[in-house]
Amino acid sequence: MPNGNLWDALHGGKILLNWPARHKIALGIAQGLEYLHHDLVTPIIHRDIKSTNILLDVNYQPKVADFGIAKVLQARGSKDSTTTVIAGTYGYLAPEYAYSSKATTKCDVYSFGVVLMELITGKKPVEAEYGENKNIINWISSKVETKEGAMDVLDKRVSESFKEEMIKVLRIAIRCTCRIPTLRPTMNKAVQFLIEI
């Protein structure tokens, strides 16, 4: 793809994505996952949503890639999970998947929430500054207890004029990464939330 992947765009240092581009990328990823989860006769769980698997075309339109470990669920309504060997990438794996081996669409929602956090903060899912056995989710939750703390997690390279929008998307990311899977939104809802911003 002409603009590589989202990881390189956020962490490679060669380009700087402004907030409108980041929001467009977030919405595009959400719409791709919405299609996989809700628009197919048999839903597909990607199981490895991460910034390196989001390719960017010439217009920075995202394409969800690498379906090597994706799983097809049984016909809609009969079963909403599949037991499988744990696969995916540390920092993006939903906690319940890591200990139960049951993959659900809510696992993809969790991983999507981590990618949203990357888009908002410009930080990687796992960094030494978060502390031992901590990730971006722990780091953000320790900061957002105050409005000033929430502002501290936003990528400083993005224009101040987009801070309120970024905070709204941060709230969506926090909902997507809730430890309780049933409290996470569906991808239909996540798309709706992102469109309303």
Residue whose token pair is 């709204």: 168
CA 119 to chain centre: 9
Residue 155 among the catalytic residues: no
Q: Distance between CA atoms of 98 and 91, rounded to whole angstroms?
A: 11
Q: Which residues contact 136 (CB under 8 A, 6 or more apart)?
A: 91, 114, 117, 118, 121, 123, 124, 125, 126, 127, 130
Q: Which of 48, 57, 152, 155 is catalytic?
A: 48
Q: Which residues contact 57 (CB under 8 A, 6 or more apart)?
A: 1, 2, 3, 63
**Active centre residues (catalytic):** 48
